[in-house]
Amino acid sequence: MADQIVPLLSLSQAKALVAHLEANEIIAANEIVEQASDISISEGQVFEKVGELTRELHDALVSFQNDTRLIDMAGHDIPDAKLRLNYVIEMTDKAANKTMDAVDNCLPIADKLIADLDAVKPSWQGLMNRELALGDFKKLCHQIDGLIEESSSSAINLRTSLTDILMAQDFQDLTGQMIRRVIDLVQEIELKLVGILTVCSSEENAEIKKETACIDNNIKAEGPIIDAESRDDVVNGQDDVDDLLSSLGF
């Protein structure tokens, strides 16, 4: 099609041109020539632009077809990211439970220690005030002996639990790495999507879609707010909640 030769001047235009020249109407004749060259230039520009866009579209489609990265992402990386995120939930769950198990183990030890000390205290105070009978003194000695024995095993027990709590925090490092990988993938997908958007849809459409997405979000539950300080539609902590509720008459 591009090779087909199109006359710059139509037959009727040529005849009119000859007529004008024969009648010595130079201005009218020049107008016909200018008009014809104008049209040919603008048509040429349109063809060029269409050609350019077609080439771009073709290249983009070919590059999408040949982009094995996209296939990799859809078939492997995204399911992999899902697994990773599920693993993060599992790990944080395990860490939280491990920590709470250790705390559950520690609390009764602390309670028993308090109770044992309270039991010894009256006799001990009696001894300090030199008001303790010999029989009671012997009893106190046995009590304290028992307390020492038990405290030392309790302390070892506490130490083990505290170490467990410490060790349970390793999830932060591991889940952090996983989440970082998923963030990288999301960024890559974002770039690819922007590429598809610029080829397939006009900028206006993209803007409109973005806006409607925002409106939808407003009604839905949003989960933890990570940018509370820069937003004025959310509260910033419990004090704000209390203020808001009391302003509503709570």
Partner 1 sequence: MKVLIVDDFSTMRRIIKNLLRDLGFTNTFEADDGNTALPMLKDGGFDFVVTDWNMPIMQGIDLLKEIRKDPKLKHLPVLMVTAEAKREQIIEAAQAGVNGYIVKPFTAGTLKEKLDKVFERLG
> What residues line the site for partner 1 (CB under 8 A)?
92-93, 96-97, 100, 103-104, 218, 221-225, 228, 233-238, 241, 244-245, 248, 250
C-beta of 180 vs 231, nearer to partner 1? 231
C-beta of 32 vs 168, nearer to partner 1? 168
- Shortest Å, Cβ 201 to partner 1: 31
C-beta of 35 vs 236, nearer to partner 1? 236
- Shortest Å, Cβ 243 to partner 1: 10
C-beta of 101 vs 150, nearer to partner 1? 101
Contact 175, 88 (CB under 8 A): yes
Contact 117, 133 (CB under 8 A): no
- Shortest Å, Cβ 218 to partner 1: 8
C-beta of 60 vs 228, nearer to partner 1? 228
Count other Cβ atoms within 10 Å, centred on residue 171: 19
Q: Cα dihedral sign for 217, 218, 219, 223?
A: positive
User: Cα(55)–Cα(49) distance, rounded to whole angstroms?
Assistant: 10
- Shortest Å, Cβ 220 to partner 1: 9
Q: Among candidates 135, 137, 138, 143, which has minimal Cα distance to 117?
A: 143
Contact 93, 187 (CB under 8 A): no
**Token pair for 101:** 């198990």
Q: Hey, what amino acid is at 73?
A: M
C-beta of 123 vs 175, nearer to partner 1? 175
C-beta of 84 vs 98, nearer to partner 1? 98
**Token pair for 188:** 């890559």
Determine which helix (DSSP H) or strand (DSSP E) holds 159, and give its type and residue range: helix 134-168
- Shortest Å, Cβ 110 to partner 1: 12
- Shortest Å, Cβ 198 to partner 1: 33
Q: Among candidates 48, 30, 39, which has minimal Cα distance to 10?
A: 39
- Shortest Å, Cβ 204 to partner 1: 29
State the DSSP code for 229.
G
Burial class (CB in 10 A: 0-12, 13-18, 19+), 102: buried
